[in-house]
Every structure is written in C-alpha cells, then in structure tokens.
Structure 1
Amino acid sequence: MINIVLFRPEIPQNTGNIGRTCVLTNARLHLIGPMGFSINDKTVSRAGLDYWSELDVTLYGSYEELREKYKDSKFYFSSTKGKKIHSEVEFEDEVFIVFGRESSGLPEYIMEENRENLFRVPMAETSTRSLNLSNTVAIVAYEALRQLGYPDMK
C-alpha cells in the first residue's frame, strides 16, 4: 500500500479528487494542516462523490508530526524542482509520497532536507506553471503501483 501526503492543500476539489484516487488504488491519504478549507466542506465530498466514506484518511497538525509518527518510513517528495523524474524513483511498499500546496509547492526547508528524494513529473516548457495537483498525484500513484505490480487491484 502506498501513502499519499498532501502538505497544506488549498483547493477542496483537488483533495476530493485525490481522495477518490486513493480509494480506488487502496492508498492511504495523509493531510497536513492547516488546510485552505474544512475537511467537511461540501466541495471535498462532492469531488470525492460517494467514495469519501471509504477513504483511509489521517489529519496532522504539522509536517513534523507526520515524520515523527513514521520516522522509519521511506519518503519521496514531488516538486517541479526535482532532478529525477517520477519513473526513475524506486517506489517500495508502504512508501510515503509527499505533494506540496497548489499555489507554492513544498517549502524550501522540506526540499533542502530531502534533496535526494525529490522527483518531478516531466512537462513541456510553457508559460503554465505545472500540472494540476490531482493529476500529478494520479500519475505518480499509478507509477508507484505499476512498480509494485498493482497490489490488490484487478
């Protein structure tokens, strides 16, 4: 099973879509606050449709709280500033894959502490900043699951 981590998400529809992806890929969702919305926001559940009640989701007050709880786990970090591309990462079972805020990505201190575990999803060079967060999560989650042989999926 993989673990998807959202660092201070801002857009409820993205979190709802990511929650739906997590349910359908048997992934756990970890949300680090503060968030830009309430988890009970109708737009979260609307985007997640009837899947939200099946979601394995945990809330954290800080990044440090998550890291302390899972101090022996492997973490990877998605950033447009990563040198490796997502398919070059060797994902393993129970891995934590961390994604930053929609507007600003991951904070510099997290990227500095984890420079070797940063990766990016390749994109064409355009004036557009980056892919939508829920699309990026889906791309990376399916690459991790492909590497693990799509466990418990038909």
Structure 2
Amino acid sequence: MTERRLLILNGPNLNLLGTRQPEVYGSTTLPEIDKRVEQVAAEVGLKVRAVQSNHEGVLVDAIHEARTDCVGIVINPAAYSHTSVAIADALRSVALPVAEVHLSNIHAREQFRHHSYVSAVAEMVVAGAGPLGYEMAVRYLADRLSQ
C-alpha cells in the first residue's frame, strides 16, 4: 500500500444531512463534510475513501475491503450504532484503528440511543460535536498512526 488512506464510513440516512432534522443534525450536507474531511486528511498526510450506505451489508463489505487499502476507519454508523452486531464484528475482524463519530450527542437523546455496539470496538468516540467530530476523528487517527 503506497498511499495511507482512511475509510470514512457513513450509515443510514446520513445522505439526507442538511435537510433531515437540521435541529438535531445541523445544516451541513454529507458532501460538505466529505470535502472538509478530505482537506483535513491531506493536511495530516492521509487520503480518504468515503462510503455512505443505507444498507448494513454494504457497510460490512466496505469494512472488509478496508483491510487491503486503509490504515484506519472513521465511522458514523448512525442508527446501526444501536443495532448492528454485524458492523461491530466486521470492525473487530479487520484489526484497524477505529474512530466513531456521531453528529448529535447520543447520550442526551432517547434511551435506546445511549448504547453503541461500535463504541466497544472504537479507540475513540466523539459525539455531539457536529461535523467537527469528523475532523477530530481524522486528527486522532493520524496522531495514533504516527506513533
């Protein structure tokens, strides 16, 4: 692998950012987040491969593919945080450092959102920082990978 790349993985409904419940998720769109993540990654010497899907299996496949071309994963599993053992198991399987991101503070929302299966796998979790959370996750992984 010549390029050091991060997989930026976004789960269900995040394709609707900017219009979906802006009072919860803000007005920034996913393409705007992706562009900023790419800029931050470039600042720290990394490339990115961004994937968004509303389908659990597609997300699992993207995680598996990351074994061959990525050095870390930033994931916003969205609603799959609270339901997907499959995504958590896939993350464990690839043995890459994982940073979990949530735009909203999941701990200040409905009780069912307080538990994330992905958090048990992630080295770092940021919740409630909005789009800045993605930047924090990229910088964390860059620092982690430089050690």
Q: TM-score, normalised by structure 2?
A: 0.47
Q: TM-score, normalised by structure 1?
A: 0.45
Q: Which has the higher helix share?
A: 2
